[in-house]
């Protein structure tokens, strides 16, 4: 028990240090221990990290500058009505914090991230700045074929950057490693929805965010150890409501906001803050053409997301299903200000919830938000209302 | 332009648009099918070959704004839960639908029989039609146009587009209309497009003259109207652009400048390149801020949003589906930032511009994100003065007339100072 407590404390402390280190010391240490190794920074939401892994590179998710870096130069690049994340990215780059990165991947998620890829091409011509067009057509023979070709082109770029030719076997091996990663994350998510009092929201968040920067093998071990230890702890079950948090898939809420929600009486039993590593549900096939397997998994196993055209099901049905599966009592829509994908999605998702009598509340944030009192009151009132009256 | 003598092309365009909205209003009674789609990357020729009527929600939104109706529509959308942060075109359209969907001619716009989601250069389009899908009980067919991130169209991108058109869009239109795909008919439409495109480019390029016979931004939005909407691929569009070309050539011969809402513009003092869409809620007032100062826009990127034709692209009847793919992928907002910089810098040179001005609209991240970088790059490459103003597309709350006017005047003074500086340098 004492050991378990200490293990959890140490894991969370390590994850916390990684989260707060915007000098990316872990990346620098990785480069020291992997001479000649290349690091690719991946913007939200989903990047096929298997490709970078197979090329011997370290893929690192980049999510802006959070609430730790004062934005000075970044603001000169964007108008007031553009979200916060790209300002943070520019600030990190211009302040030299991203110097140890060799390339950047900009997945198609919205027009801002798309155009940020162009800013990178113009401003940092000595670094790989690669936009990845994800398919919005979900026919395997149409969108799948295009995406597999996109993945092959990306792999070629990674091979050139790393100087390492990637065999199909190597890529299949990397897919297998990430399958394990997806499974252990799912285990953590399952525990979270079963016994949220054992895995507080901020801890879960930090442990999952550690995967943004750690090599995947290390992160798998970290989650496994955390899961083994945390179930041994005696943590009190509080009279909290159970909520799903939706809309925070790109620019991240500050850690203080996540803590605020739980302190306000909400157990977060599912969220999309850390959806990147869960974007593909289940295993990716490790047989056949690995690029085709990744493309097929994206098409057939990709989760509902505001950045992806919804054609498979009625809009919001997946969110309602998530609420039911996670045993949640309500949904908190937490979206970054000026986030077109999240905010344009909300009315449709809210309608779907209304039709199933699932209560919800909504607020906006920015990654550098510093005051949480209003949100605490709102979340507290929401939690009280669904516990007392079911809505 | 109600206060001035209208040229024949203006009257013709008005007549064409009026007739189109009449056809739309009568479509349900006539059994005509109606397809909603977007301006960038539109497949108008293909739609016409199936004899269906296109509706462009952005056009409805901007026309609502010009008629001072957009404010109410946006309020209605916000009342039902749409955020104040998001695209006002979308909110205006949703609000208009909820308010009876009455078109600019006062007649109702029919419900769509099909939503053709041409996802080209604007992520919001995806969300927009997801929202419309909730409003209407009709099928949706998506055409995903890959982005020219590396400044080129790869064979894979082209193949993807063609495959989507062939295996998804055409079958959806066949199912909708009960007609078989008629490639010969499509080729005929594409040939008419090509002819009209030649004349439209001639008109836009006429701004190289001094004085420029056209304003390529405020006037330009009228010139692109038929080409970017329901008329590309028709004989009416060919006739319109031939007529417009004649009028512009005549103005060049007479040494005349553009016609503004207040009549012929006075002496040309400043030649500008403009990046970004215009504001529609105060369109005339906005234009007047330029024309009263003798500032004429000689080239603009907004007039390329529904197709970039001035670098050589023309619809090719010999490759019907491939050419549609190329057209879609070539639209302005589907081009990378380095391509946009390159285009603007080339305009500055080709049209002998004194400055580049960005009108940054709150609603459109596709245009706006990165515009400050674009501006600095173009200034660096061309040496011309850059200016920056902020407005919105159809939300009047974001148009501060005094502020915008001040900025434009200061900007033009800056150009003036730069000129005098150059003169001083030459004298020295």
Question: DSSP labels for A261-327?
Answer: HHHTTEEEEEESTTGGGGSB-SPPP-SS-HHHHHHHHHHHHBPP-TTS---SS-TTHHHHHHHHHTT
- Out of B81, B122, B159, name the one closest to residue A350 (CB): B81
pLDDT tens-digit readout, B299-339: 999 999 999 999 999 999 999 999 999 999 999 999 999 99
Q: What is the dihedral of CA A366, A372, A375, A381, to 10 degrees?
A: 160
C-alpha A152/C-alpha A146 separation (Å) is 10
In angstroms, what is the C-alpha Rg of chain B?
A: 21
Q: Tell me if B61 sits within 8 A of B97, measured CB to CB.
A: no
pLDDT at B3 > cutoff 90? no
CATH, domain B257-427, list 3.40.50.11900, 3.30.930.10, 3.40.1710.10, 3.40.30.20: 3.40.50.11900
User: Residue A234 CB: number of other CB atoms within 10 A?
Assistant: 8
CA A37 centroid distance within chain: 24
Q: Which residues of B touch A150 (CB under 8 A)?
A: 156
How big is the CA angle at B312 (ends B310 and B316), to the nearest 5 degrees?
A: 120
A160 touches chain B (CB under 8 A): no
Residue with tokens 């400043």: B270
Q: What is the pLDDT of residues A320-369, one digit of tens each?
A: 999 999 999 999 999 999 999 999 999 999 999 999 999 999 999 999 99
Q: Which residues pair with B263 in a beta bridge?
A: B260
Please give the average per-residue pLDDT across B128-141, as a whole number.
Answer: 93
Measured distance CA(B334)–CA(B77) in Å, rounded: 28
Q: Tell me the β-bridge partners of A103.
A: A40, A128
Neighbours of A301 (CB within 10 A): 14
- The H or E element spanning position A331 is strand A330-336
Task: From A259, A239, A257, select the one nearest A248 (Cα to Cα).
Answer: A257
Contacts of B63 (CB under 8 A, 6+ apart): B103, B104
What is the distance between the alpha carbons of residues B90 and B77, in angstroms, rounded to a whole number? 9
In this prediction, residues A280-309 reach a mean pLDDT of 96
Preferred mutation among A114, A251, A352 to probe B, highest tally of B CBs within 10 A: A114
- pLDDT value at residue B4: 60
Over residues A293-314, the mean pLDDT reads 91
Which residue of chain B is at minimal alpha-carbon distance from A121? B338
Distance (Å, rounded) from C-alpha A350 to C-alpha A353? 5
- Put simply, the chain A residues between 98 and 157 with a CB less than 8 A from any chain B CB are 108-112, 114-119, 121-123, 130-131, 133, 135-137, 139, 141-143, 145-146, 149-150, 153
Q: Do B123 and A146 touch (CB under 8 A)?
A: no
Report the gap between the CA of B398 and the closest CA in chain A (Å).
Answer: 11
The pLDDT-based confidence of A71 (bands split at 50, 70, 90) is very high
Choose, out of B57, B126, B161, B380, the residue to mutate when testing the contact with A (most A CBs < 10 Å): B126
Q: Cis check for the bond before A45: say yes or no (omega within 30 of 0).
A: yes
Q: Of the candidates A361, A279, A296, A349, which has an alpha carbon nearest to the alpha carbon of residue A319?
A: A349
Kindly state the DSSP code that residue A237 receives in the 8-state scheme.
P
Residue B289 contacts residue B404 (beta carbons within 8 Å): yes
Residue A340 distance to chain B (closest CA, Å): 6
How much is the CA Rg of chain A, to the nearest whole Å?
Answer: 20
Residue closest to A16 by CA, chosen among A177, A242, A222: A222
Of the residues B82, B116, B159, B160, the best mutation for testing chain A's interface (the one with the most A CB atoms within 10 Å of its CB) is: B160
Residues of A in contact with B168 (CB under 8 A): 137, 139, 142
Å between A350 CA and nearest CA of chain B: 9
Distance from CA of A56 to the nearest CA of B (A): 24
Considering only CB atoms, which chain A residues are within 8 Å of B134? 315, 348, 351
Per the DSSP assignment, residues forming a β-bridge with A362 are A333
**Contact A112/B134, CB-based, under 8 Å?**
no
**B276, B361 contact by CB (below 8 A):** yes
Please indicate whether, in this complex, the C-beta atoms of A77 and B368 are within 8 angstroms of each other: no
Mean predicted lDDT score pLDDT of chain B: 95
Question: Which residue in B373, B376, B388 has the most chain A C-beta atoms within 10 A of its own C-beta, making it the best mutation to test that interface?
Answer: B373
Q: Can you give the pLDDT at residue B291?
A: 97
Please state, in angstroms and rounded to a whole number, the distance separating the CA atoms of residues B337 and B355.
Answer: 19
Interface test with B, best of A117, A344, A348 (most B CBs within 10 A): A344
* SS3 state of residue A176: helix
Under 8 Å CB pairs connecting chains A and B tally to 165
What separation in angstroms does the CA of A269 have from each of A241, A246, A247, B107, B226?
Answer: 10, 11, 15, 50, 53
Per-residue pLDDT tens digits for B32-43: 999 999 999 999
Q: What is the arithmetic mean of pLDDT over A32-61?
A: 97
Sheet holding B270-275, edge to edge: B295-300, B270-275, B355-361, B385-391
Q: Which two tokens stand for residue A325?
A: 């599966």
Q: What is the distance in angstroms between the Cα of A136 and the nearest Cα belonging to chain B?
A: 6
Identify the pLDDT of residue A311.
79
Residue A367 near residue A84 (C-beta atoms within 8 A):
yes
List phi, psi (to 5°) of B79. Answer: -65, -30
pLDDT higher than 60, residue B426: no
Q: What is the DSSP letter of A138?
A: -
| A390 three-class SS | coil
In the stretch 195-254 of chain A, residues with CB closer than 8 A to chain B read none
- Cα(B305)–Cα(B367) distance, integer angstroms: 10
Interval B341-351 mean pLDDT: 98
Mutation choice for B interface testing from A122, A144, A352 by most B CBs within 10 A: A122
Q: Which of B80, B147, B167 sits opposite A114 (nearest CB)?
A: B147
- SS3 label, residue A85: helix
The overall average pLDDT reported for chain A is 96
Interval B258-301: pLDDT, tens:
999 899 999 999 999 999 999 999 999 999 999 999 999 999 99
What's the Cα-to-Cα distance from B358 to each of A50, B59, B372, rounded to whole Å? Answer: 41, 22, 8
CB contact under 8 A, B167 and A340: no
Q: Is the pLDDT of residue B423 over 60?
A: no
Closest approach of A344 to chain B, Cα-based (Å): 6
pLDDT of residue A228: 97
Is pLDDT of B1 > 60?
no
Chain B residues near residue A79 by CB distance under 8 angstroms: 360, 362, 368, 371-372, 390
Contact list in B for residue A351 (CB cut-off 8 A) is 134
User: For residue A350, which residues of chain B lie inside 8 Å, CB to CB?
Assistant: 81
Which of A45, A74, A81 has the most B C-beta neighbours within 10 Å, making it the best mutation to test the interface with B?
Answer: A81
User: Of B122, B127, B340, which has the smallest distance from its Cβ to A341's Cβ?
Assistant: B127
What does the pLDDT average to over A165-179? Answer: 98
Domain extent listing, chain A: 24-170
Contact B129, A315 (CB under 8 A): no
CB distance B368–A81 less than 8 Å?
Answer: yes
Distance CA A340, CA A82 (A): 10
**Which residue, B344, B259, B247, is CA-closest to B296?**
B259
Mean pLDDT of A280-291: 98
pLDDT at A391: 54
Alpha-carbon distance of B84 to A338, in angstroms, equals 9
CB contact under 8 A, B83 and A346: yes
Going by C-alpha positions, the residue among A109, A120, A73 that lies closest to residue B338 is: A120
Distance from CA of A105 to the nearest CA of B (A): 12
Residue pair B392/B358 in contact (Cβ under 8 Å)? The answer is: no
Question: Which chain B residues are within 8 Å of A306, Cβ to Cβ?
Answer: 127
Task: Give the minimum alpha-carbon distance from A110 to chain B in angstroms, rounded to a whole number.
Answer: 6
Alpha carbons A139 and A137: distance in angstroms, whole number: 6
Please give the pLDDT value at position B68. 93
Q: Give the Cβ contact number of residue B252 at 10 Å.
A: 16
Cβ-Cβ contacts under 8 Å for A130 (sequence gap 6 or more) = A103, A104, A105, A106, A117, A154, A157, B149
Question: Where exactly are the structural domains of chain B?
Answer: 8-182, 257-427
Tokens of B139: 């099928």
Three-state DSSP string of chain B: CCCCCCCHHHHHHHHHHHHHHHHHHHHHHHCCCEEECCCCCCCHHHHHHCCCEEECHHHHHHHHHHCCCHHHHHHHHHHCCCCCCCCHHHHHHHHHHHCCCECCCCCECCCCCEEEEEECCCCHHHHHHHHHHHHCCCCEEEEECCCECCCCCCHHHHHHHHHHHHHHHHHHHHHHHCCCCCHHHHHHHHHHHHHHHHHHHHHHHHHHCCCCCCCCCCCHHHHHHHHHCCCCCCHHHHHHHHHHHHHHHHHHHHCCCCEECCEECCCCCEEEEEECCCCCCCHHHHHHHHHCCCEEEEEECHHHCCCCCCCCCCCCCCCHHHHHHHHHHHCHHHECHHHHHHHHHHHHHHCCCCEEEEEEECCCHHHHCCHHHHHHHHHHHHCCEEEEEEECCCCHHHCCHHHHHHHHHHHHHHHHHHHHHHHHHHHC
With beta carbons under 8 A apart, name residues in chain B contacting A339.
Answer: 85
Query: Measured between beta carbons, which residues in chain A are less than 8 angstroms from residue B141?
Result: none
- Closest chain A residue to B166, measured at CA: A142
Residue A86 at interface with chain B, using a CB cutoff of 8 Å: yes
Of A146, A335, A341, which is closest to B156 when you measure between CB atoms?
A: A146
Q: For residue A143, what is the DSSP state?
A: I
The interface pTM score, or ipTM, of the predicted complex is 0.96
| Chain A contact set for B362 (CB, 8 A) | 79, 81
Cβ-based contacts of B164 with chain A (< 8 Å): 137, 142
Q: How far is the alpha carbon of B323 from chain A, nearest alpha carbon, in Å?
A: 19
Q: What is the rounded CA–CA span in Å between residue B244 and residue B265?
A: 18
- Does domain A24-170 fall under CATH 2.40.50.140? My reply is no
pLDDT reported for residue B205: 98
pLDDT tens-digit map of A57-70: 999 999 999 999 99
Minimal Cβ distance to A344: which of B86, B164, B368: B86
Joined together, the tokens standing for residue A175 give 């897919």
Q: Three-state DSSP class for A19?
A: helix
Three-class DSSP category at A86: helix
Compute the average pLDDT of residues B412-426: 80
What pLDDT digit, counting tens, does each position of B364-407 carry? 999 999 999 999 999 999 999 999 999 999 999 999 999 999 99
CA B142 vs CA A67, B36, B93, B124, B200: distances in Å = 39, 12, 19, 13, 29
């Amino acid at each position: 028990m004492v050991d378990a407590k200490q293990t959890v404390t140490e894991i969370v402390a390590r994850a916390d240090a990684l989260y707060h280190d915007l000098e990316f010391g872990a990346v620098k240490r990785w480069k020291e221990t992997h001479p000649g190794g290349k690091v690719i920074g991946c913007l939200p939401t989903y990047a096929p990290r298997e490709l970078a892994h197979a090329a011997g590179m370290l893929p690192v998710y980049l999510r802006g500058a959070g609430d730790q870096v004062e934005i000075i130069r970044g603001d000169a690049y964007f108008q007031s009505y553009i979200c916060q994340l790209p300002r943070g990215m520019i600030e990190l780059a211009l302040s030299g914090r991203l110097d140890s990165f060799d390339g950047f991947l900009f997945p198609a998620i919205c027009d801002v991230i798309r155009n940020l890829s162009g800013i990178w091409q113009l401003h940092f011509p000595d670094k790989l700045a690669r936009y990845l067009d994800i398919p919005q057509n979900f026919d395997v023979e149409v969108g799948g074929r295009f995406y597999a070709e996109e993945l092959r082109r990306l792999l070629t770029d990674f091979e050139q950057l790393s100087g390492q030719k990637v065999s199909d076997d190597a890529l299949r091996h990397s897919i297998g490693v990430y399958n394990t990663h997806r499974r252990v994350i799912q285990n953590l998510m399952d525990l979270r929805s079963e016994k949220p009092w054992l895995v507080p929201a901020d801890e879960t968040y930090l442990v999952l965010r550690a995967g943004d920067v750690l090599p995947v093998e290390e992160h798998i071990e970290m989650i496994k150890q955390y899961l083994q230890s945390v179930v041994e702890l005696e943590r009190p079950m509080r009279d909290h409501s159970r909520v799903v948090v939706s809309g925070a898939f790109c620019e991240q809420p500050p850690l203080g906001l996540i803590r605020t929600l739980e302190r306000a009486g909400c157990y977060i039993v599912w969220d999309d803050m850390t959806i990147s590593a869960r974007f593909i549900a289940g295993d990716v096939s490790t047989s056949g053409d690995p690029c085709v397997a990744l493309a097929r998994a994206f098409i057939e196993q990709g989760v509902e997301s505001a950045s992806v055209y919804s054609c498979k099901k009625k809009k919001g049905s997946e969110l309602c299903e998530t609420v039911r599966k996670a045993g949640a009592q309500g949904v908190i829509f937490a979206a970054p200000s000026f986030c077109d994908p999240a905010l344009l999605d909300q009315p449709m998702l809210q309608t779907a919830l209304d039709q199933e009598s699932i209560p919800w509340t909504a607020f906006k944030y920015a990654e550098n938000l510093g005051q949480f009192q209003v949100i605490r009151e709102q979340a507290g009132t929401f939690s009280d209302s669904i516990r007392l009256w079911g809505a | 332009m109600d206060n001035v003598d209208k040229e024949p092309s203006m009257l013709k365009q008005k007549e064409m648009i009026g007739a189109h909205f009449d056809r739309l209003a009568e479509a349900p009674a006539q059994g005509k099918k109606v397809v909603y789609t977007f301006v960038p990357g539109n497949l108008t020729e293909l739609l016409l070959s199936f004899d269906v009527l296109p509706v462009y929600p952005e056009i409805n939104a901007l026309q609502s704004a010009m008629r001072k109706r957009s404010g109410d529509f946006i309020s209605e959308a916000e009342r039902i839960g749409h955020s104040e942060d998001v695209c006002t075109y979308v909110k205006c359209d949703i609000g208009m639908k909820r308010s009876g969907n009455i078109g600019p001619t006062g007649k109702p716009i029919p419900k769509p029989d099909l939503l053709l989601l041409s996802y080209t250069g604007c992520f919001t389009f995806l969300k927009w039609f997801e929202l419309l899908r909730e409003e209407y009980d009709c099928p949706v067919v998506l055409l995903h146009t890959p982005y020219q991130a590396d400044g080129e169209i790869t064979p894979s991108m082209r193949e993807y587009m063609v495959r989507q058109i062939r295996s998804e869009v055409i079958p959806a239109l066949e199912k909708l209309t009960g007609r078989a795909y008629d490639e010969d008919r499509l080729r005929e439409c594409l040939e008419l497009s090509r002819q009209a495109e030649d004349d439209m480019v001639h008109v836009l390029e006429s701004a190289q003259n001094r004085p420029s016979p056209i304003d390529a931004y405020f006037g330009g939005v009228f010139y692109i109207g038929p080409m970017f909407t329901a008329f590309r691929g028709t004989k009416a569009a060919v006739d319109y652009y031939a007529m417009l070309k004649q009028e512009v050539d005549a103005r060049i011969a007479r040494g005349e400048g553009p016609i503004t809402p207040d009549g012929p513009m006075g002496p040309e003092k400043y030649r500008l390149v403009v990046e970004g869409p215009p504001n529609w809620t105060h369109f005339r007032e906005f234009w007047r801020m330029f024309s009263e100062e003798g500032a004429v826009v000689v080239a603009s990127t907004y007039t390329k949003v529904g197709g970039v034709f001035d670098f050589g692209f023309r619809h090719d009847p010999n490759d019907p589906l491939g050419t549609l793919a190329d057209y879609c992928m070539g639209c302005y907002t589907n081009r990378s930032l380095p391509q946009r910089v390159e285009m603007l810098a080339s305009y500055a040179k080709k049209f002998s511009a004194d400055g580049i001005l960005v009108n940054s609209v709150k609603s459109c991240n596709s245009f706006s994100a990165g515009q400050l970088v674009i501006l600095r790059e173009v200034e660096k490459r061309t040496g011309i003065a850059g200016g920056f103003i902020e407005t919105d597309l159809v939300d009047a709350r974001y148009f501060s007339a005094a502020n915008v006017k001040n900025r434009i005047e200061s900007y033009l003074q800056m150009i003036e100072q730069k000129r005098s500086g150059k003169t001083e340098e030459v004298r020295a």
